[in-house]
Structure 1
Amino acid sequence: MTRAEDRARARALLPDAAARVFAREGFTGASVEAIAESAGCSIGALYSNFSSEEALFL
């Protein structure tokens, strides 16, 4: 998989993973680590696609 494909995959998976974690843990209880793990991505992949946990939430 190319770097661009990997980034696109992460960008597609992260919002759904974040929604699951936010629903389970609440916004204040959710962590970027839990979101990244749920998506099968690294924390770096999360931050390369979204500037913050808040940006991902929105």
Structure 2
Amino acid sequence: MTAVATAVPLAYLTLAGRERAMARMGQTRSGLIEDALVVAAGALIVAMAVRQKNGS
């Protein structure tokens, strides 16, 4: 539930930036960059959670 409560407002807040990126570099390229950022952020969050769980 927390993920949804975070994702929905962020989608609206970042819409203008995504529209500018699409106009500047096209939908496919901007989408790949956005996906890469989301995957990297997710990996960082998981790594931080694992580190915290292991007490490091």
* Fold-level similarity (TM above 0.5): no
Could you tell me the TM-score, scaled by structure 2's length? Answer: 0.38
Could you tell me the TM-score, scaled by structure 1's length? Answer: 0.37
Higher helix proportion (structure 1 or 2): 2
